[in-house]
């Protein structure tokens, strides 16, 4: 049994050491799969660590709502957000809302992310992946795969879809990293809350200009679609609209980057799996999905209990907060056979990395295709690939993955 308090599950900095987090999640799955956690500065919540319980929450939005709290943040920040924006989360995106409005808003961009459109994009994504592989070729046989390659490739894919120009990529990457891991940017002069407000303000300003531009000069991109979309005959209100842009421009790359870097790490650490993949190229799609399960970059989402109920035999009260730990669901041996093994031949896609139900990830087909494409183009060209130093991890209890992955490689 670990001596660490369960409160580490909502401590951003603890995620810089994933071993501790994985250990604590394994212990809770085993001993208390629905377990009350009372951290300092964050509302008490029930940590839910088994796959079936998480699926139950996601399948019953009439009992467990994404409103008003979709993630665990400081109570002081919730209060300040409420005063500044009238919303405790500081944004109002698809992940923060339920009911018919959620579905109406989701429908606006849905077709862009459905398999029919994703397969049309494949050729273009291949070109982008090939460009980043060329970049590796110019790197003298070593690089930090996370910061040099993985951060940038999914970023370019999704920003092109939205319609954000290449010269703004670094800005959007910086803002995304600050939004998802404000602890990594906090200093003595600027605390986590100040980082959050600075980031959300900069995003608001950036997307306001983009919206104005696409209203004046519509193009064939998601920015134009969203900026000009109407619901009940009216343009979407400004706060909801900028929030939508915040969601797409953040959720659409950090998660996929973390999966790609984590996938390269997992394949290096499991040479038999690498051999298997190289010998059986038809396994690339399955390998991509297994990588995403293995990495599980989205660490949690929260829900509010709407009426007194029970979960896994534990009574919950109306107003309680539950937090679904997706990474834990994906290591749950009671739901996934040999969940602790990285196995690219695994056929089932029953994992929870993309969530489940009405809020399930809109970008899942794109994310899988991006990871698959990159590996399929890169790996057969390599003569060798190895780790070249200690990796490090992003300190975030929301979206986390490798912040650094030094590697060496040789092209054939």
Residues of the shown chain interacting with ligand HEM in the complex, contacts defined by CB under 6 A: 58, 94-95, 106, 158, 247-248, 251-252, 255-256, 259, 292, 297-298, 301, 326, 353-357, 359-363, 366-367
| Residue in 166, 159, 163, 158 with CA at minimum distance from that of residue 215 | 163
Shortest spacing between CB 69 and ligand HEM, in angstroms: 13
Shortest spacing between CB 353 and ligand HEM, in angstroms: 4
Shortest spacing between CB 87 and ligand HEM, in angstroms: 15
Shortest spacing between CB 254 and ligand HEM, in angstroms: 9
Q: In the complex with ligand HEM, which residue's Cβ is closer, 186 or 393?
A: 393
Shortest spacing between CB 320 and ligand HEM, in angstroms: 18
Computed on alpha carbons and rounded to an integer, the radius of gyration of the chain in Å comes to 21
| Residue in 81, 75, 66 with CA at minimum distance from that of residue 306 | 66
Asked if residue 340 lies in contact with residue 330, where contact means CB atoms within 8 angstroms, the answer is no
Shortest spacing between CB 366 and ligand HEM, in angstroms: 5
| Residue in 178, 198, 195, 113 with CA at minimum distance from that of residue 398 | 178
Are β-strands 300-305 and 309-311 bridged in parallel, bridged antiparallel, or unpaired?
Answer: unpaired
Phi, psi of 234 (to 5 degrees): -125, 150
Shortest spacing between CB 131 and ligand HEM, in angstroms: 18
Tokens at residue 321, please? 């907060």
Q: In the complex with ligand HEM, which residue's Cβ is closer, 395 or 401?
A: 401
Q: How many CB atoms lie within 10 A of CB 168?
A: 14
Shortest spacing between CB 356 and ligand HEM, in angstroms: 5
Residues written for the chain: 412
What gap in Å lies between CA 302 and CA 317, rounded to an integer?
A: 15
Roughly how many angstroms between the first and final C-alpha of the chain, as a whole number? 47
What gap in Å lies between CA 214 and CA 220, rounded to an integer?
A: 10
Shortest spacing between CB 83 and ligand HEM, in angstroms: 25
Q: In the complex with ligand HEM, which residue's Cβ is closer, 29 or 303?
A: 303
Determine which helix (DSSP H) or strand (DSSP E) holds 250, and give its type and residue range. Answer: helix 238-251
What gap in Å lies between CA 77 and CA 100, rounded to an integer?
A: 28
Shortest spacing between CB 128 and ligand HEM, in angstroms: 13
Tokens at residue 238, please? 């400004």
Tokens at residue 80, please? 């300040």
Tokens at residue 392, please? 């490090």
Provide the edge-to-edge strand list for the sheet that holds 142-144.
142-144, 406-411, 382-387
Q: Residues 140-143: contacts with CB within 8 Å, 24+ apart?
A: 141/408, 141/409, 141/410, 142/388, 142/406, 142/407, 142/408, 142/409, 143/406, 143/407, 143/409
| Residue in 305, 270, 338, 333 with CA at minimum distance from that of residue 60 | 305
Residues 6+ apart with CB under 8 A from 152: 132, 169, 173, 257
Q: In the complex with ligand HEM, which residue's Cβ is closer, 66 or 186?
A: 66
Phi, psi of 149 (to 5 degrees): -125, -55
Shortest spacing between CB 319 and ligand HEM, in angstroms: 20
Asked if residue 129 lies in contact with residue 371, where contact means CB atoms within 8 angstroms, the answer is no
Q: In the complex with ligand HEM, which residue's Cβ is closer, 271 or 357?
A: 357
């Amino acid at each position: 049994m670990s001596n660490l308090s369960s409160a580490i599950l909502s401590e951003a900095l603890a995620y810089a050491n994933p071993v501790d987090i994985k250990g604590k999640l394994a212990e809770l799955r085993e001993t208390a799969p629905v377990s009350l956690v009372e951290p300092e500065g964050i509302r008490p919540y029930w940590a839910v660590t088994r796959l079936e319980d998480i699926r139950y929450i996601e399948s019953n939005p009439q009992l467990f709502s994404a409103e008003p709290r979709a993630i665990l943040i400081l109570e002081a920040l919730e209060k300040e957000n409420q005063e500044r924006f009238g919303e405790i989360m500081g944004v109002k995106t698809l992940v923060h809302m339920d009911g018919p409005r959620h579905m109406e808003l989701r429908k606006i961009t849905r077709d862009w992310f459905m398999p029919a459109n994703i397969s049309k994009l494949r050729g273009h994504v291949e070109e982008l992946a090939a460009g980043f592989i060329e970049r590796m070729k110019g790197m003298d046989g070593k690089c930090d795969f996370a910061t040099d390659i993985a951060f940038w490739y999914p970023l370019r894919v999704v920003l092109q879809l939205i319609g954000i120009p290449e010269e703004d990529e670094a800005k959007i990457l910086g803002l995304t990293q600050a939004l998802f891991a404000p602890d990594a940017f906090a200093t003595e002069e600027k605390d986590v809350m100040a980082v959050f407000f600075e980031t959300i303000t900069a995003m608001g300003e950036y997307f306001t200009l983009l919206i104005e531009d696409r209203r004046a000069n519509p193009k064939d991109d998601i920015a134009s679609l969203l900026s000009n979309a109407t619901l009940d005959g009216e343009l979407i209100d400004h706060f909801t609209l900028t929030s939508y842009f915040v969601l797409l421009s953040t959720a659409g790359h950090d998660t996929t980057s973390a999966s790609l870097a984590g996938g390269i790490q997992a394949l290096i650490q499991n040479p038999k799996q690498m051999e298997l993949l190289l010998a059986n190229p038809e396994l690339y799609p399955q390998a991509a999905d297994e990588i995403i399960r293995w990495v599980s970059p989205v660490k949690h989402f929260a829900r509010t209990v709407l009426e007194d109920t029970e979960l896994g035999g534990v009574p919950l009260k109306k107003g309680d907060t539950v937090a679904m730990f997706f990474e834990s669901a994906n290591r749950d041996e009671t739901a996934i056979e040999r969940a602790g093994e990285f196995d690219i031949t695994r056929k089932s896609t029953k994992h929870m990395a993309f969530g489940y139900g009405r809020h399930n990830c809109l970008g899942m087909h794109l994310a899988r295709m991006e990871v698959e494409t990159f590996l399929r183009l890169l790996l057969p060209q390599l003569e060798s690939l190895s780790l070249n130093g200690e990796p490090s991890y992003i300190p975030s209890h929301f979206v986390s993955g490798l912040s650094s992955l030094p590697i060496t490689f040789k092209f054939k």
